Amino acid sequence: MRHGVLLGPPGSGKGTQAALLVQRLGAQHLSTGRLLRQAIAAQTPLGREAQGAIEQGLLVPDATVNALVRETLLALPPEAPLVLFDGYPRSISQAAALDQTLRELTGHALDIALLLDLSDDEVIRRLAGRRECPQCGGVFNVVSAVPSDGSECKECGGSNLTQRADDRPGAITRRLEVYHRETQPLESHYASRGLLHRIAAAAGPATVHSRIMDALAGAGSQRSV
């Protein structure tokens, strides 16, 4: 079993690429956002800790997130060929905790870090154009996936597509500031260990997926794809 992390700014396509890897390789996709939502919905002890922080307007503490990741890893089937972390780690301290957990549970640390590299301008263009359908839950981009006025869902024909509050320009800028401040230092952290593979992510999903597959095949030495 190999363990990798998906890095990249919001809108870089991490969720799309994780889904493709699940389909193609049978990878286990561990999205900490989804894990937290599930834990809160189930009202597990860690879920209640996370909910308490969120209700106070605070970030979920590292200790809670780290414990949730450890708990999830313990429950994974041993035959999984690749475990892919998405949304974790978000900081150098979380990266250290992940390595410690992996060494304790598997005897080795992280195998690869995949960076979906995208400019801030492209992030803003993508996210500002994203819309959600309130009827089927589909997510689309007004530039490429729905009519140019963004008025109709191409999947179910629903109208009144909505824009998430955090996809508005001011919110996107703040999200990018947080990413550059807290998460981007992981690039040099993993590069210094020869684990970072930089994937040019402005291309279409199929091209980006092909680059990721090349990186996974050649994992073991740092290179750009």
How far is residue 212's CA from residue 106's CA, in Å, rounded to a whole number? Answer: 24
Mean pLDDT of 31-35: 92
Query: What are the helix (H) ranges across the chain?
Result: 14-25, 32-42, 45-55, 62-74, 92-106, 120-128, 169-178, 185-191, 205-217
In a domain, 152, yes or no: no
pTM, entire model: 0.83
**Residue 183 vs residues 54, 70, 89: alpha-carbon distances, Å:** 20, 20, 8
How far is residue 156's CA from residue 135's CA, in Å, rounded to a whole number? Answer: 8
According to DSSP, the β-strands at 28-31 and 82-86 are parallel
CATH of the domain at 47: 3.40.50.300
Give pLDDT tens digits for 179-221.
Answer: 999 999 999 999 999 999 999 999 999 999 999 999 998 874 4
Domain count, the chain: 1
In a domain, 102, yes or no: yes
In a domain, 17, yes or no: yes
In a domain, 203, yes or no: yes
Catalytic residues: 14, 90, 130, 164, 175
Q: Which pLDDT score, from 0 to 100, does residue 98 have?
A: 96
pLDDT band at 154 (very low <50, low <70, confident <90, very high): low
Within 10 angstroms of residue 102's Cβ, the number of other Cβ atoms is: 19
In a domain, 64, yes or no: yes
Domain that holds residue 95: 2-119+183-224
In a domain, 176, yes or no: no
How far is residue 95's CA from residue 126's CA, in Å, rounded to a whole number? Answer: 28
Give pLDDT tens digits for 95-116.
Answer: 999 999 999 999 988 999 999 9
In a domain, 125, yes or no: no
Question: Of 105, 101, 104, 77, whose CA–CA distance to 89 is shortest?
Answer: 101
Q: What percent of the chain has pLDDT over 70?
A: 90
Q: Which pLDDT score, from 0 to 100, does residue 149 have?
A: 56
**Residue 136 vs residues 34, 100, 102, 149: alpha-carbon distances, Å:** 19, 41, 38, 19
In a domain, 150, yes or no: no
